[in-house]
Chain A
Amino acid sequence: MLESLLAPGGLVLLRDSVEWEGRSLLKALIKKSALCGEQVHILGCEVSEEEFREGFDSNINSRLVYHDLFRDPLNWSKTGEALPGGPLEALRALCRRTDPVPVTIALDSLSWLLLHLPCTTLCQTLHALSRQDSCHGDSSPGEQVHVLGLLHEELHGPGPLGALSSLAQTEVTLSGVMGQASAHILYRRPQQRPTHQLPCETQWFSILPDFSLELQGGPPLESQPNPDPRTPSTDPTTHLTFNLHLSKKEREAKDSLTLPFQFSSEKALGPSSTDVPKVIWAWVEPDQTLEKWPCLQAAVLRGQEARWTAGSTAPWAEPGYQPHFL
């Protein structure tokens, strides 16, 4: 897999994410290039030189030239240790190097450069960097410049991602399932590859502690990829001790139920269903009910408001009293 990634030359774009990091694959490619006798220039923006060289043996490390943009990229310390000219000048300096041997240039990371440089400037510089084999008139046809760029795709919009993709000869998108990493490889220049090689393929792999690459057969068949790690993969309503669902009969009964605040022909109290029944206040003897007052009952049906007035004595105390209305 590593040979097929490095064979076409030009820009190899490694697209990773927080869940599936790509720095290990980048270091595996660097190790492969170094073992092939190439000198490797690394523009390090995100990790320190010590951290980047961890895991490489002395033979590999002797072939790595680390351009440190991590320690003081923006010249805040003012100690003179920062690379002169900032990140853009450091990148352009890589274009101007005059190493005669085949060389690999690793950008760790393109995302950091894209966040600090204009996209157009970065693309122009990358284009110049990737085409260095045609710039040096005395270079032999077999010598190519390999540019490896690590890109954290969640940090950028579709525009910059598309622009960088169009510059790449090979695009590798890292993902995986159930802890097993995979690389979806897209070759953008099919005519430069062996005829038996497909334009795109997916390889399952793992990176060993010494940054050797081991191909895997793939994840178990029953595993399902979870496209969005923030969405829960299990139904929270499972394994409940109470029933949250409705049967068909219950749903029909619920849909046909008329709510108290909804007016309907069934709920009309008199000749006109739009009359709103009013509250009446009435003193009622304990052994009397409203049904014994037919005139009062009629007032209720017509929606009229009636109210008793209290006399000096309780109305019901007077013999033969009649309710009167206001």
Chain B
Amino acid sequence: MFPELNNLLNTTPDQAEQGKLTLLCDAKTDGSFLVHHFLSFYLKANCKVCFVALIQSFSHYNIVGQKLGVSLTTARECGQLVFLEGLKSAVDIFFRPQEDPHPLQFLREANSGNLQPLYEFVQEALKPMDSGEAAWRCPVLLVDDLSVLLSLGVGAVAVLDFVHYCRATVCREQKGNVVALVHDSGDAEDEENDILLNGLGHQSHLILRAEGLATGFCKDVHGQPKGSS
């Protein structure tokens, strides 16, 4: 994690808030560093993390995580991390029986309806342990990223419904946190993405926005973060 970002947000892994939806947004720059930050932050905070990773492979996140002081391999082996590798699962889905439920079931359907299977995967991954004694501090759902679901044919309202249910379950019932990255298309006039971004903006407790510099590309300075709550 980045200590500078913790200072800006006035938080530490020991004092992480609960029951919050944090929206990560990037415009004209790459905001994936925020995803890596929160992944390492919540693993260090001893939270149980369900990571829906649709953009990169497990090894990519693991390599970056090691530089930030966490081992995703160790976290997955001890049950702290549930990792849905979208790139791998998207291929597997076409080689298994159609009756078997799959989180990315919408890829098989001609008319991608809703993300209920994905929600049920998250719900199962983060459900409290049967022993009654919590091994982990609180559940956290991390999604990288939601904009790619629009590119895969899911409607903005369906994605908003998915986040709605995750909020109801993870944030309200289990007092956990949800962190999701959405790209800002800016001047591209992507209506669906704008609905998703603004809809999540109304639901979020904290919005972290990474913007490129107004003067253009710079080798040493990539952008500036803005936060609003």
Contact = CB atoms under 8 A, between A and B. Distances in A.
A73 B164 contact: yes
Q: What is the interface of chain A mostly: helix, strand, loop, or mixed?
A: loop
A111 B157 CA distance: 11
B168 A71 contact: yes
Interface in A282-303: none
A266 to B, nearest CB: 37
A115 B160 contact: yes
B119 A152 contact: no
Closest 6 CB pairs of A and B: A18-B201, A154-B198, A232-B214, A236-B215, A48-B172, A236-B214
Contact of B157 (A21, A46, A109, A115): A115
Given A155-B198, A155-B199, A236-B214, A230 B27 contact: yes
Interface residues of B, number: 26
Contact of B198 (A18, A72, A109): A18
A49 B104 CA distance: 31
25 contacts: A17-B198, A18-B201, A19-B228, A46-B203, A48-B172, A50-B172, A51-B172, A70-B164, A70-B172, A71-B168, A73-B164, A74-B114, A74-B161, A74-B165, A76-B119, A76-B165, A111-B202, A116-B157, A152-B198, A154-B194, A155-B198, A155-B202, A230-B186, A234-B214, A236-B214
A243 to B, nearest CB: 15
A74 B184 CA distance: 28
Interface of B: 27, 114, 116, 119-120, 157, 160-161, 164-165, 168, 172, 184, 186, 194-195, 198-199, 201-203, 207, 213-215, 228
Contacts of B207: 18
Contacts of B199: 111, 115, 152, 155
A288 to B, nearest CB: 51
A155 B215 contact: no
Interface residues of A, number: 25
Contacts of B186: 230
A292 to B, nearest CB: 53
A72 B161 CA distance: 10
Interface in A71-85: 71-74, 76
Chain B contact residues: helix, strand, loop or mixed: helix
B207 to A, nearest CB: 8
Contacts of A70: 164, 168, 172
Contacts of B194: 154
B113 to A, nearest CB: 11
A154 B195 CA distance: 7
Nearest to A46: B203
Contacts of B201: 18
A154 B119 CA distance: 26
Contact of A76 (B116, B172, B215, B228): B116
Nearest to A22: B202
B170 to A, nearest CB: 12
A229 to B, nearest CB: 9
A149 to B, nearest CB: 15
Contacts of A116: 157
A11 B29 CA distance: 43
Nearest to B119: A76
B182 to A, nearest CB: 12
Contacts of A236: 213-215
B86 to A, nearest CB: 21
Contacts of A115: 157, 160, 199
Interface in A35-49: 46, 48
A94 B199 CA distance: 26
B115 to A, nearest CB: 10
Given A73-B161, A116-B157, A236-B214, 15 more contacts: A17-B198, A18-B201, A50-B172, A70-B172, A73-B164, A74-B114, A74-B161, A76-B120, A76-B165, A109-B202, A115-B157, A115-B160, A115-B199, A152-B202, A155-B202
Contacts of B27: 230
Contacts of B195: 155
Interface string A91-127: 0000000000000000001010001100000000000
